[in-house]
Amino acid sequence: MTAAAMPETMGQLRVFFFPFMAHGHMIPILDMTKLFALCGVKPTIITTRLNAPFFSKNTKNLGSEISLIVIKFPAVEVGLPEGCENLDQIHSDEMMPKFLKATAMLQEQVDHVLQECRPNCLVADMFFPWATDVAAKFGIPRLVFHGTSFFALCVKESIGLYKPHNKVSSDTEPFVVPHLPHEIKLTRMQLIPAQREGSETDLVKLLSKISETELTSYGVIVNSFYELEPAYADHYRKVLGRKAWHIGPVSLCNREVEDKAQRGKETSIDEHQCLRWLDSKEPNSVVYVCFGSIANLTAAQLYEMAMGLEASGQQFIWVVKKGENENWLPEGFEERMKGKGLIIRGWAPQVLILDHEAVGGFVTHCGWNSTLEGASAGVVMVTWPVFAEQFFNEKLVTEILRIGIGVGAQENTTKVASGIKREAIEKAVKRIMVGEEAEEMRSRAMAFKDAAKKAVEEGGSSYSDLNTLIEELSSYHP
């Protein structure tokens, strides 16, 4: 529904968005607010003081269309350093429970915001399961945003219900995830550590609370499109009985170079310099390597990556996190790779890079945003999952969509990738870039690129689902 199409008598629908404090959640929610604003909805984002500039920088051009409400993050109160308000600042296992505790303490402030402002709907991240009850107090429907695929939601649900991982005798013995449309095998090693150990950590308790609130909330909003994973979009709704709307890929709302370049954190490379470098390359001749906003690589792994990329003979853009000391750099690597490989230290304009015709491959950690952005750009992927539900996304890419090759990562860790040898990297990169198999994967990937574009255009599946959702919310009565 365009703004013009919204009945005048309806009044402006006010939807509040409350993203988890991590860029993999903040970025798609910001895109989502832009989509809602285009439909004539008045979006407001609730966030904390130090995360607020991220949203204000990215909504500058939208004038007053998107509002911000700033609340206080109780970092010091839970024993975190002052100013620690984002998941990318969590560098040890001891900090994580404190971070989650601080997010739980936001309940009172959100309660107050809802009481004061009485929006028509609250879209709150899955990490705030309490948001459903808080919204219900004021008769406000709450939508859950997980930030992952239908496929991963279905796998998670099946594992939670049937616990197939408890029926194998070792962490490496594969088990079948029961009652899914395809036969999917995983190992306990690929589940998050607390889950495979069966320990009742705060995180495990939170995950089960999240599953419960999926059922008591108004519904689930999914950043995906029907044509990408139809069997799982149907399974989630019809077999698992969830009410869901797919409205993605939300990244496609960034159409201009400037929008794509500004998406996310401040980029560490001038976008025009980056585009000039890519413009000088042949179509599908560059591999883009990036591990998202959180995952790190050990120094030894960075070294193996450099050696593997060089041995693959392929041109590349490689994003390395700032602050990772540079002792890992093989001697003379950058000089040898001059013109052939570009290292971006810090933050890259990912969507801008993936959308360039010179880019044909993507070495990814399988965060859902990156996976979806890769599929929407028609690139073939080397999958290298590290943590969270990334091992599930890998299965979707390699076994169901068949647009990627696994590098051989086996263990779900706490955000640090290691243990993959240069030979495996070289082999996987070559397989996605050259030869008949690569061509076949590329033509499937290109079909998904077309389908993604159609899904968000007028009349497309995501466009229609978004409009249906807005219409429903407009006529909602508690």
Q: Catalytic residue positions? A: 25, 125
In the complex with ligand UDP, which residue's Cβ is closer, 258 or 423? 258
In the complex with ligand UDP, which residue's Cβ is closer, 16 or 318? 318
For ligand UDP, the binding residue among 351, 358, 432, 433 (CB under 6 A) is: 351
For ligand UDP, the binding residue among 293, 314, 315, 398 (CB under 6 A) is: 293
In terms of Cβ atoms closer than 10 Å to its own Cβ (0-12, 13-18, 19+), residue 138 is middle
For ligand UDP, the binding residue among 103, 370, 461, 474 (CB under 6 A) is: 370
Beta bridge partners of 343: 318
Q: Determine if 347 is a binding residue for ligand UDP (CB under 6 A).
A: yes
In the complex with ligand UDP, which residue's Cβ is closer, 2 or 61? 61
Contact 88, 44 (CB under 8 A): no
Which range, of 89-97, 233-241, 291-299, 395-403, touches ligand UDP by CB under 6 A?
A: 291-299
Phi then psi for residue 320, to 5 deg, are -115, 135
In the complex with ligand UDP, which residue's Cβ is closer, 27 or 191? 27
Q: Determine if 369 is a binding residue for ligand UDP (CB under 6 A).
A: yes
CA dihedral of residues 435, 308, 386, 397 (deg, nearest 10): 0
In the complex with ligand UDP, which residue's Cβ is closer, 292 or 404? 292
In the complex with ligand UDP, which residue's Cβ is closer, 149 or 461? 149
Q: Determine if 144 is a binding residue for ligand UDP (CB under 6 A).
A: no
Q: Determine if 292 is a binding residue for ligand UDP (CB under 6 A).
A: yes
Residue 163 burial (CB count, 10 A):
13
Q: Which tokens belong to 158?
A: 């099946």
In terms of Cβ atoms closer than 10 Å to its own Cβ (0-12, 13-18, 19+), residue 471 is middle
Q: Give 86-132 as a DSSP string.
A: SGGG--STTHHHHHHHHHHTTHHHHHHHHHHH--SEEEEETT-TTHH
Contact 31, 128 (CB under 8 A): no
Q: How far apart are alpha carbons 341 and 409 in whole angstroms?
A: 24
Q: Determine if 391 is a binding residue for ligand UDP (CB under 6 A).
A: no
State the nearest-atom distance from the C-beta of 353 to ligand UDP, in Å.
9
Which parts of 21-40 interact with ligand UDP (CB under 6 A)?
23-24, 27
For ligand UDP, the binding residue among 129, 193, 264, 406 (CB under 6 A) is: 264
Letter for the amino acid at 416? V
**Distance set, CA 116 to CA 33, 105, 127, 326 (Å):** 21, 19, 23, 50
The DSSP secondary-structure symbol of 397 reads I
Q: Determine if 158 is a binding residue for ligand UDP (CB under 6 A).
A: no
Q: Determine if 348 is a binding residue for ligand UDP (CB under 6 A).
A: yes
Q: Determine if 337 is a binding residue for ligand UDP (CB under 6 A).
A: no
Which range, of 40-48, 369-377, 406-414, 435-443, touches ligand UDP by CB under 6 A?
A: 369-377
Q: Determine if 240 is a binding residue for ligand UDP (CB under 6 A).
A: no
In the complex with ligand UDP, which residue's Cβ is closer, 190 or 293? 293
* Strands of the 404-406 sheet, one edge to the other: 341-345, 315-320, 286-290, 359-364, 380-383, 404-406
State the nearest-atom distance from the C-beta of 132 to ligand UDP, in Å.
23
Letter for the amino acid at 110? V
Q: Please report, as ranges, the residues that interact with ligand UDP according to CB under 6 A.
A: 23-24, 27, 264, 290, 292-295, 319, 347-348, 350-351, 367-370, 373
